């Protein structure tokens, strides 16, 4: 990291806070031919561009005063849109990540640490999460300001945890045990008098079997990385729930822009459809009879030509309390009776596996707004496998 700090001052615009050299030393350097020549400066600036990390300097207020030009290539931000503001921070972070960064920065500010390191996400220009390893240093001099280094981590680690085969085997075995128990209870019911206890036992075993099935669904991972047509995925998911919307008397408005047909999402179409299905189910259950649910989908292209599919589902149901909103993606958390709390958690899990982002917030007046952003590839470009 020390080598990174030494490189920072070579930028054309000298970072704020660097001490001016002593005039005698400066004159001596010039007379002795030790000053940095234009070729040397160009070499140093070229070195900055080819480094695998982004360097920056900011004020105590977190307003950026310098950022290396390779930020565009490595993270997807233009240097010009970052200098002079705080847009690298709260505006580009998810709320939970910003809380982590604030806590770490507080340790730095109170003098508990000379440097801090953390891993968090930044939202690129497509609104997609980019994982970065982030180190911040308070310089050794007395002047105010911070130096930082950002290293892109990619998404290779987004599917982690226990080996999939082990989890699948466990769920399969416990499911078999529950099925056997169910058969035994059914057999006993034929020879014993009916009782409330037997009914409760039967109902409990049925719920356990259903939970096992749902958890088996939850732990799935992509089995293929095809170029998926999200328009077809959305059509399939909406077709599954359209009868339920009609039966409940809910106005169902669907707008899928033709731009979605010009791109493909690299991923498993079955899991993507499952994710969208759970989001639609949540909207259906949250909306009262006579209400309305809107679905909009479109593909957006950034200045780099990299598209993203953006899907928004808005319902007219009740707003979500702030405390509940923070826990809405927690597995097994639900405010609805008879629900296992895996629906939205499963949707978020599958979207994350595909390098995307799922966010839920309250609507402007009432109801809930769910936004899904997925990285895509133009159909005339080979999609990644």
214 and 82 within one domain: no
Domain span at residue 89? Answer: 2-152
94 and 206 together in one domain? no
Lowest mean pLDDT among 11-20, 171-180, 359-368: 11-20
Q: Is residue 351 one of the residues assigned to a domain? A: yes
Q: Is the pLDDT of residue 165 over 50?
A: yes
Residue with the bigger pLDDT between 95 and 283: it is: 283
| Sheet order of strands, 263-267 included | 226-228, 263-267, 377-378
Q: Taking residues 82-92, what's their average pLDDT?
A: 79
Rg (CA), the chain: 27
Do 232 and 316 have their domain in common? yes
CATH of the domain at 246: 3.30.565.10
Q: 209 with 232, same domain?
A: no
Q: Are 138 and 181 within one domain? A: no
Q: Are residues 117 and 183 in the same domain?
A: no
Query: Using CA atoms, how far apart are residues 66 and 17, in angstroms rounded to an integer?
Result: 11
Strand partners, 120: 132
Across-strand partners of 146? 58
Do 262 and 359 reside in the same domain of the chain? Answer: yes
Q: Is residue 384 part of a domain?
A: no
| Residue 359 belongs to a domain | yes
CATH code where residue 71 lies: 3.30.450.20
Question: Over pLDDT 70: what percentage of the chain?
Answer: 77
Are 292 and 374 contained in the same domain? Answer: yes
Read off the pLDDT of each residue in 243-270 and give the average, rounded to a whole number.
93
pLDDT digits (tens, 9 = 90+) for 222-252: 888 888 999 999 999 999 999 999 999 999 9
What integer pLDDT is reported at residue 281 of this predicted model? 93
Strands (E), the chain: 54-58, 64-67, 115-123, 129-137, 146-152, 226-228, 251-256, 263-267, 292-301, 307-315, 357-362, 368-375, 377-378
Q: Which residue has the higher pLDDT, 370 or 329?
A: 370
The reply to whether 130 and 240 lie within a common domain is no
Same domain, 15 and 138: yes
pTM of the predicted model as reported, rounded to 2 decimal places: 0.64
pLDDT of the residue at 256: 95
Q: Which residue has the higher pLDDT, 32 or 364?
A: 364
Domain count, the chain: 3
Q: Considering the domain boundaries, does residue 158 fall inside one?
A: no
383 located within any domain: no
**pLDDT single digits (tens) 8-65:** 333 334 333 334 444 433 333 333 344 445 554 555 555 555 667 788 888 888 889 8
Separation of first and last alpha carbons in the chain: 34
Residues 237 and 133 in one domain: no
Question: Per mean pLDDT, which range of 141-145, 206-210, 286-290, 345-349 is the poorest?
Answer: 141-145
Would residue 157 count as lying in a domain? Answer: no
Of residues 41 and 363, the one with the higher pLDDT is 363
Does residue 284 register a pLDDT over 80?
yes
Q: How confident is the model at residue 113 (pLDDT cuts 50, 70, 90)?
A: low
Residue 20 in any domain: the answer is: yes
382 pLDDT more than 70: no
pLDDT, tens only, 150-164: 887 765 444 444 455
Is pLDDT at 138 greater than 60 in this prediction? yes
The pLDDT value recorded for residue 296 is 97
């Amino acid at each position: 990291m020390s080598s990174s700090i030494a490189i920072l001052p070579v930028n054309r615009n000298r970072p704020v806070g660097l001490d001016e050299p002593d005039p005698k030393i400066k004159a001596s350097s010039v007379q002795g031919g030790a000053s940095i020549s234009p070729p040397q400066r160009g070499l140093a600036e070229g070195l900055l561009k080819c480094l695998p990390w982004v360097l920056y300097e900011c004020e105590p207020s977190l307003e950026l005063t310098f950022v290396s030009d390779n930020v565009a290539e490595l993270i997807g931000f233009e240097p010009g849109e970052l200098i002079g503001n705080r847009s690298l921070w709260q505006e580009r972070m998810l709320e939970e990540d910003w809380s982590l960064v604030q806590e770490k920065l507080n340790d730095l500010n109170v003098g508990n640490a000379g440097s801090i390191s953390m891993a968090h996400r930044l939202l690129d220009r497509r609104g997609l999460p980019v994982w970065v390893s982030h180190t911040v240093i308070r310089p050794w001099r007395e002047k105010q300001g911070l130096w930082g280094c950002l290293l892109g981590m990619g998404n290779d680690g987004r599917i982690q945890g226990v080996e999939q085969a082990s989890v699948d085997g466990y769920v399969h075995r416990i499911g078999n045990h529950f099925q056997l128990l169910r058969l035994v209870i059914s057999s006993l019911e034929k020879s014993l008098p009916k009782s409330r206890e037997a009914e409760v036992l039967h109902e409990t075993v049925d719920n356990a079997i259903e939970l096992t099935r749902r958890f088996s669904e939850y732990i799935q991972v992509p089995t293929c990385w095809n170029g998926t047509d999200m328009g077809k995925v959305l059509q399939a998911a909406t077709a599954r729930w359209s009868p339920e919307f009609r039966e409940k008397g809910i106005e169902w408005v669907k707008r899928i822009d033709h731009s979605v047909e010009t791109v493909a999402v690299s991923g498993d179409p079955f899991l993507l459809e499952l994710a969208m299905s759970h989001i639609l189910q949540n909207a259906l259950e949250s909306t009262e009879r006579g209400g309305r649910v809107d679905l909009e989908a479109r593909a957006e292209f950034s200045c780099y030509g990299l598209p993203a599919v953006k899907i928004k589902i808005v319902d007219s149901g009740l707003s979500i309390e702030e405390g509940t909103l923070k826990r809405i993606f927690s597995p097994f958390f639900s405010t609805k009776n008879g629900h296992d709390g895996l629906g939205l958690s499963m949707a978020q899990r599958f979207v994350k596996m595909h390098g995307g982002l799922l966010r839920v917030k309250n609507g402007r007046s009432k109801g809930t707004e769910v936004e899904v952003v997925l990285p895509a590839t133009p159909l005339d470009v080979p999609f990644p496998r």
